[in-house]
Structure 1
Amino acid sequence: MSEMVIETSNLTRRYGKKISVNNLNLHVPKGSIFGFLGPNGAGKTTTIRMLLGLIRPTSGQIRIFNQTLPKHRMQILRRTGSLVESPSYYGHLSGYENLDVIARLLKVPSKRIDEVLGIVRLTSAAKQSVKGYSLGMKQRLGIAAALLGNPDLLILDEPTNGLDPAGIHEIRALIKELPAQYGITVVVSSHLLGEIDQMATHVGIIERGHLLFQDAIEKLREQNSPKLLLQVDKPLEAKRLLQRAGLQVSMDGDILQMPNQGLAATEDVNRRLIQAGISVYRITEQSRSLEDIFLDFVDKEGSL
C-alpha cells in the first residue's frame, strides 16, 4: 500500500448553516500529482485552506506527513509549499529580488533562488521587473516562491486560472516534472477536467462539499465504457437477431447501440448480420470523454 502524504478523516467545515466541506476523507499518495477536481464553489479552496492551517475544521482530522494538524502545524508547514489564489509580488522589483525577500524570511541560502528560478524556467527573466512579466510568468514566479523552502509537498489552488494556452502548457509541464525530478508530491485543484487529465496521476472529485470519487486516474478512465454504433438497412430485424444471440442491444432512432467488446466480437456481429441478409452501412466506436464522466458524477450529486 502506498504511503500517504495527506490523510483526512471526516473533515467538515460549516459556515453557519451552510456546510462547505462535508465528511471529506482524502488520501494523497506520496509522489503523486493529485488532481482535486470540482466546479467553482464545490469546496476545493476551503479544503486547501484547512490543509494549510489557514482555517480550522468544524470537525474531523487532518494528518500530513503522518503528523496531525494543528498540533504539528509548524513542522508540517516547513515541509509544505503553497500557491493559493493569485501570487503576491512587488511589481517594481525583479523576479530575483522578489524571491530574495522571501528567502531572507525563510532563512534560505541565496543559491536556492537560482535553483528555483531554473526549475520554473525564469532564469533568463530573473533580473527583469516583475510588472513586465506575463500572467504565466507571474504564476511561475509564485510557484518558485512556493518551492524556495525545498518542500516535500506542494499545494496549488487553480494554478492555470486565467492563463492563455501557452501559459497553461508551461504550468502543466512544470507540475509534471516535480515528482519525478524533485520527489515532490503535488496537490493541484482545478475546475477543468481536461487540465487534470493531462497531468494528474490521481484524482478526487468534489461537489457541494462531498467527495464523489477518489482513486488513480486510470480507474476513472476505466469508466469510459465505449459503445458500438451500427447503421444497417433493417434495424429492428438486426436488433432482434443480435438479442437472440444473447447480445445487449439498444436503439437510438435507427442506430443500434451495444457495448464494444473488442475486435473479435465486432467481427462476429458484422458476420451475423451479413449472413442474415442485413446490409451493414457503418460500424463506429463512440467513447465517453472524461469530461462526460465528470459531469455524470456532478449531475448525480446535484440530483440527490
Structure 2
Amino acid sequence: MKVLEVNNLKKSIGKREIIKDISFSIEEGEIFGFLGPNGAGKTTTIRMLVGLIHPNDGSIKICGYDLNKNTEKALKEVGAVVENPELYKYLTGRENLMQIARIRNISKKDVDETIALVGLENRIDDKVKKYSLGMKQRLGLAASLLSKPKLLILDEPTNGLDPSGILDFREVVKKAAKKQGMAVFISSHILSEVQHLCDRVAFINNGSIKSIENVINESMETNTDIICLKIKDKISLDELKSIDYINSIKITEDGIEIILLANTTSKLIKYLVDKNIQIEEVYKIRKGLEQRYMELVEGGIR
C-alpha cells in the first residue's frame, strides 16, 4: 500500500521557485531517504508534507487522503520528529508521554509498549533535563509513535548525536518501521546515515529530484568507478586519457586517481599488463551512495 503519494508538487516564495515539480511515493514498511545539500528544498518539502505550508500546485496524499481536502484525516496518520524535539524538561519522560496520551486518548498499555520500542524503560521516570541528546531524540521519537502513525517523518534526526547515539537511533527506527509497518521519510544531508538506514533514496538539488534509486545491501549502482592506481613504470597520462572508457585522470599523493566507466577496472588492468606496466596497487576510492551523490547532486566527481 502506498502510504505517501506526492505528485507534481511545486512551491514558490515570491518570485523564487523553491520546489520544482517533484513526485515520489513511499510504501508501507519502507524507509525512504530524501538526500540533498543544505538549501536543496528538503525542509520546504517537509513543511508541505505536515501541512504547515501549502503547495502552489500538485497534490499530497497520505493513506489515500488528500492533504488539502481531508487535512485532519491525512495528518492523523502522521508522526514527525523535526531536529531537536520540544519536551518539558521539568517533567519525567513518562509524564511527557502521558500528557500526549491523555490528549489523544491513548492507553497506558500503548504508552508502555512505545517506551519499550524506543528502549527507554530504564530512564523513562527520570526528569528530561537529565537526559542526553540521544535520549531526548528517543523520547521525541516515542512521542511521534504513540498514535501508531502510518507515516513517520524525520528531519535531520541524528543532528548533534555522537556515533553511539546515531547507531542506537538507527536501530530504533528500523525496529519501529518493521514492527508497526510504518512508512518512514527521512530528510538528511548525511550520506552514511541514509545509506545504512534506507531502502530507497531520492536525490534532490535546487528544488528538483534528480533520481530515485534503490539501496541494496547498503550500496548502490553507479555509472562510474573511481580508482587509485599505483604503478612502478612510467606511462603517458595522455595515453591513458585517450582510452575511451576513462573519463579523467589526476595525480595525487597516493597515486593516479582515475574516473572510469563502471565495471571497466579489469579492462584497464589487462591493458596495463599487456603494456608490461608493473602494477603495485589498485583500489576503489569512492563507492555506493557517496559516489552516486557526487554524480547526481554535485554535477560530477570532484
TM-score, normalised via structure 2 length: 0.86
Query: Is this contact kept in 2: 1:117–1:144, CA < 8 A?
Result: yes
Deviations 1:190-220 (A, max 9, x none): 1111110110111111122111121212497
Alignment match, 2:279: 281
Alignment match, 1:188: 186
Query: Is this contact kept in 2: 1:81–1:155, CA < 8 A?
Result: yes
Q: 1:150 to 1:252 in 2, by over 3 A?
A: closer
How do residues 28-107 of structure 1 correspond to structure 2 at under 5 angstroms?
Answer: 28-107=26-105
Matching residue's letter, 2:93: G
- Consecutive unaligned residues of structure 1, counting only runs of 5 or more, are none
2:297 alignment partner, SS class: helix
Alignment match, 1:19: 17
Deviation at 1:279, TM superposition (A): 4.0
**Greater Rg over alpha carbons, structure:** 1
Deviation at 1:29, TM superposition (A): 2.4
Query: Is this contact kept in 2: 1:260–1:266, CA < 8 A?
Result: no
Which 10-residue stretch deviates more, 49-58 or 258-267?
258-267
- Consecutive unaligned residues of structure 2, counting only runs of 5 or more, are none
How do residues 211-226 of structure 1 correspond to structure 2 at under 5 angstroms?
Answer: 211-218=209-216, 221-223=220-222, 225-226=224-225
Alignment match, 1:233: 233
Alignment match, 1:300: 299
Matching residue's letter, 1:223: T
Query: Is this contact kept in 2: 1:239–1:256, CA < 8 A?
Result: no
How do residues 80-229 of structure 1 correspond to structure 2 at under 5 angstroms?
Answer: 80-218=78-216, 221-223=220-222, 225-227=224-226, 229=229
Matching residue's letter, 1:186: V
Deviations 1:148-175 (A, max 9, x none): 0011111111111112222212111111
2:159 alignment partner, SS class: coil
Deviation at 1:48, TM superposition (A): 1.1
**C-alpha RMSD of matched pairs (Å):** 2.9
How many residues end up aligned between the 2 structures?
292
1:299 alignment partner, SS class: coil
Matching residue's letter, 1:222: E
Sequence identity (%): 37
Q: 1:166 to 1:220 in 2, by over 3 A?
A: closer
1:97 alignment partner, SS class: helix
Query: Is this contact kept in 1: 2:118–2:172, CA < 8 A?
Result: yes
Deviations 1:227-273 (A, max 9, x none): 55362524249958xx8xx9745754594955564797577446523
Which 10-residue stretch deviates more, 143-152 or 227-236?
227-236
Q: 1:231 to 1:63 in 2, by over 3 A?
A: same
Query: Is this contact kept in 1: 2:177–2:184, CA < 8 A?
Result: yes
How far apart in 1 are the matches of 2:262 and 2:49? 42
Which 10-residue stretch deviates more, 259-268 or 291-300?
259-268
Structure with more of its chain in helix, by fraction: 1
Deviations 1:16-65 (A, max 9, x none): 11222221112222221001111222211211121111211111111121
Query: Is this contact kept in 1: 2:62–2:77, CA < 8 A?
Result: no
Matching residue's letter, 2:220: R
